[in-house]
Each structure stands twice: as structure tokens, then as C-alpha cells.
Amino acid sequence: MESDYSLRARRRFAATFVLSLTLLASASILSKLLPSISSRTDILFVFSDFPWVGMILAIAMTGFLLITLTLILQLINRKLLAPWTLEAIQELQKEETASSEAEAVSDAIEEQFYKKREEESTEKFHDLSAVQKDDLIQKLARVLPSSIGLRQPVSVASLIAIKHLSEKIEYLKRNNPELPFTALEYEYLGDALFLEGRYEEALAYFNEGTALERNRPEIWYSQGITLGRLEKHKEALDSFNNSVVLNPRYERAWIGRAVALYMMKNYEEALQSCDDALNVNPNYFYAWNNKGVMLLSLKRYDESIACFEKALALKPDASAFYNKACVYAITSKANQALESLALAIKLDPSFKDVAKKDLDLVSLFNLTEFEEMTTSSPKDSSEFSSSLTGYLKNNGLTNSVSPY
């Protein structure tokens, strides 16, 4: 369509130009011819008597010249101008096509160049982010406790470092979504967020880790602990089951399983899980302490006291002393109960508030020694504060329970 339009435009221009020249030539010829005709004596009378005849004659001659010149113009246009104009337009179109193709090739080369530069820049940024991530993960691994489920004391400085490092890693992850993480790295991140109390976010990282690598018993254990804190005990039990199937000698997972079963009031099976942990490690404090709690729930008080004694022989722990005090209070042995409770409060003053609301200690509530013990300022303080109180409040449990 564009080429036909250009051809017609060129032809109209040529025709107009030639017609203009023809009109100018005709006017020039008439201006010279009429005076010469009117000066002749033999036809002078015609122009003098009939002036309109000269006008008709002039018009006729002009028309004749125009028709003649038009025919000549058409002949010239067909034989000379048209082929030349068409050939010129075709050449112009070829040049325009070649120019467009060259421009397209140039744009493609330029686009490929910038795309390559962008890919190289992205790859360099990715490599730098990966190096930074690896360095931060290594630092995080050094400050994390050996297990998030054992309630080991974590210093304030360590908690600040853990928070600082986890925030940096999460920033890198947000700004580089394609940055790869291993199951172990997801486990470290989840452990960090767990210690910060961000259980839902920690669980998301543990889920990512188990999706990548399903044969890591440690990450199943961490997932189970987190689900327990979120009061999803059935799901927690499934995670602990996966952990002990992968590693039957993983005593921590056996204890996590026991606690999940305890929360579901399945005391007999919980007791069996404690025994499974002790079969792996007979000197495992948490197995003896939790076994005592399971026996207490089953009202097997003498066996319960024996378990707490074995636990305390391994480690003088506030929770074991407190659980022992609960057994003595239930069995109406007030003096032994007060003695064990005093030792628990000495190691961890937060048990004062726990004891005031614990129905297992109801037999001590009216004793002056109990009132003084739970209201006076402690003479000694431990280097760490137990989180048992908050956990028990959240789960609505009796205070003798040993948590995840």
C-alpha cells in the first residue's frame, strides 16, 4: 500500500509540473500570435467588427495546444517517467528494507550485550550473596546451643548475636530469592528463630529443611519441638516418630516423643519412650527427670521419687527438685516437700511464683514456711532463668510437668 501511494504521488507531481509548463508556454505563444494576426489587413475587418471571433479562435487554439501537450505528456509519462519512477521507488524500498534489517540486527546485538552484562552482574551478586550467607551461617552455628529442646542456659550476649545474625541472613534471603539453602542451614535458621520465640517462622524453615532432606533426624526433632510449643502435639509426635525411625539411638527425640505423648495424656506410652531413651543413654538426666513425671502422673509415687533422685545424682537441677517436692506434697510428706522446694527456689527463684499456683502443693499452702519461702527475696540466684512458668501457663498444665 505504501509503495502504490508513493508511485501515484510522484506521477501527480510530474503531471502537475508539466501542465504548469504547458500553460505558461501557451500563454507566451498566444501573447505573440494574436497581435500578429490582428495586424493583417485581410482579416482586420473580422476582428474589428467581430472581436469575439478572435477570442473564440484564441480559446480554440489554446485548447488544441493543451490537448496536444497532454497527449505528449502521457506518452512521456508511459515511456519515460513511469519506468524510471517505479525503479527509483523499488530501489528506495530496498534501501529502506536493508536499513530496517540492519537496525534490527543492531538492536538484537545490543539487547544481547546488555542481557549478558545483566546476567554477569546478577551472577556476581549471587556469588557474593552466597559467600556472605555461608559466612553468616558459620557464625550462627557457633553461637547456637547444641539443642533447642533441652532448655540449656543461653547468655544474653549469645541471644543478641543470634538475633543479629539471623536478621542478616533473612535480609539476604529476601533480596536474593534464588539463593540456595541446604537442609542444615534451614535447621540453623529455624533454631535461631525458635530461641527468639518466633515459632511459626521457625516452623516454616524446618518445613523447608525436611522438604529438601527427609533423612535428617535432627531437623525432624527441631520441627517436633517447635510444633510442641505451638500446642500441635499430634503433629509433634509424628515429627519425633520420624526422627527416632531415622536414628533409634537419638535419645533427645525419644524424650520429645515422651513429652508429646504426655501432653496427649498417653502416660503409659510416654513412660515407654523414656525407657527407650534410657536404653540408649542410662545417664541421660532428662530421661530420668521425665520418667519421674510420667510415674507421678500414673500415681506410682515411690518409683517417681527414685527417678528424681537418679536425675539429681546426674545434675542438681531446679526442675527435678521441684518435681520431687510435688511428689512429697501429694504423699503428705510436708518436711521433705519444703526441703526440696527450697532447693528448687534457690537454684531458680522463678519457682516461687509457680509454687503459689500449683495444686500439687496445695497441702503446703497453709504452712508458714511455705508462705515465707514463696514471698521472701531469694538469697541466691542462678545464672539463668527458667522459662517453665510461661510454658505451663500457656499449656494449662500442672506445675510438675517437665516441658519440651
Q: What is the pLDDT of residues 235-280, one digit of tens each?
A: 999 999 999 999 999 999 999 999 999 999 999 999 999 999 999 9
- Retrieve residue 357's grid coordinates: 499456683
Q: b/e string for 145-162 if b means 16 or more Cβ within 10 A?
A: eebbbebeeeeeeeeebb
The torsion angle over the Cα atoms of residues 114, 120, 121 and 125, rounded to 10 degrees, is: 160
Question: What number of helices (H) and strands (E) belong to the chain?
Answer: 18, 0
The torsion angle over the Cα atoms of residues 340, 344, 345 and 346, rounded to 10 degrees, is: 100
pLDDT for res 69: 72
Q: b/e string for 113-144 if b means 16 or more Cβ within 10 A?
A: eeeeeeeeeeeeeeeebeebbeebbebbeebb
Nearest-angstrom CA–CA distance, 220 and 227: 10
Nearest-angstrom CA–CA distance, 66 and 55: 16
Q: Which residues of the chain have pLDDT under 70?
A: 1-58, 60, 63-64, 71, 73-93, 95-96, 98-99, 102, 105-128, 149-153, 376-404
pTM of the model: 0.63
By the 8 A CB rule, do 183 and 210 touch?
yes
Pure H helices in 77-182: 82-143, 156-175
pLDDT for res 157: 86
By the 8 A CB rule, do 384 and 153 touch?
yes
Q: Please name the residues in contact with 184: beta carbons below 8 A apart, sequence gap of 6 or more.
A: 209, 216, 219
Q: Please name the residues in contact with 385: beta carbons below 8 A apart, sequence gap of 6 or more.
A: 348, 350
Tens-place pLDDT, residues 26-83: 556 555 555 554 454 444 444 455 555 556 666 767 766 777 777 676 666 665 555 5
Of 170, 179, 177, 15, which Cα lies nearest the Cα of 85?
15
Neighbours of 52 (CB within 10 A): 8
Q: What separation in angstroms does the CA of 385 have from each of 146, 155, 345, 356, 375?
A: 18, 10, 11, 18, 18
pLDDT for res 394: 39
